Amino acid sequence: MGKKSAFNLRNKHYFPPLSQLPWEGKRDQRFCNFFFQPIRRWCLLVEIIERNISPTSGHTNSKAPPVTCRVRDVDGRELRIDLHNGMRPGTVVDDCTRGYTMAIMCPTRHRFQDGGVGVNIDDLSALMVIPVSMNDMMQINDKIRTVRTCAICQRKTRYGCELCQMPYCSVRCQTVSWNTGHRELCQAAHVVRIWRKVDWNNTTLPGFY
């Protein structure tokens, strides 16, 4: 196990765009060992542009057409993501909404039959949908610091939101924040807080946590 990574959503070593992902079925020493086992974690962050539940051209399973999403990665490139088994109710695919951020753990690049390049997801446990835009995710990433200063007035504090631990010095500052957007951003901030505690160089625990 290597040294614990310093967390930052803007770090393309751990949060690469499509162009830097390994190709499906090809060993890439930046991500995998000789036996195709991951040597670290990486996560593709994209913002959902459109979700289409009808059959699409280029998929390989005619019996169960995937849910297809058109998304945009951190470099602004649009790509296609096929979610297999997504037609079943009660899956994370139900949360795929335009403008939300999609996080995919350890994905690979896939070339579809129509020549397009994107990502194929067979295991939905590798997918998380966060109900904020990618721009909001990056702003949260930039605001959450090791030093505990109030998100409103910048005073040092030991207190914070019970769910996401966003720091506040008083109920007044927390109320101001809640009424000006934190209500929507709280879940995303909670995710970022948890990800900050994850050792992204440790692959012994699967998934996001």
Q: In this predicted model, which residue has the larger pLDDT, 46 or 196?
A: 46
Closest to 59 in 3D by CA, of 95, 83, 79? 83
The pLDDT of residue 148 is 78
Taking the whole predicted model, whether its pTM rises above 0.85 is answered as no
Architecture of domain 18-133: Beta Barrel (2.40)
Q: Cα(first)–Cα(last) distance of the chain, in Å?
A: 16
Q: How far apart are CA 79 and CA 86, in angstroms?
A: 18
Query: pLDDT-derived band of residue 140, with 50, 70 and 90 as boundaries?
Result: confident
Q: How far is CA 191 from the centre of its chain?
A: 9
The pLDDT of residue 128 is 94
Q: What type of residue is 98?
A: R
Domain regions of the chain by residue span: 18-133, 144-187
Residue 174 reports pLDDT greater than 50? yes
Query: pLDDT-derived band of residue 16, with 50, 70 and 90 as boundaries?
Result: very high
Q: How far apart are CA 65 and CA 68, in angstroms?
A: 9
The pLDDT of residue 206 is 54
Q: How far apart are CA 155 and CA 160, in angstroms?
A: 12
Count of alpha carbons within 13 Å of 152, Cβ hemisphere only? 18
Query: Burial letters for 25-37: b for 16+ Cβ neighbours within 10 Å, e otherwise?
Result: eeeeeebbeeeee
Q: Which residues pair with 191 in a beta bridge?
A: none
Q: Highest-confidence range of 4-8, 171-175, 179-183, by mean pLDDT?
A: 171-175
The pLDDT of residue 106 is 92
The pLDDT of residue 87 is 61
Residue 26 reports pLDDT greater than 80? yes
What is the rounded average pLDDT of the residues 96-121? 94
Rounded (5°) CA angle 93-47-181 = 100
The pLDDT of residue 90 is 72
- Diameter of the chain measured on Cα atoms: 58
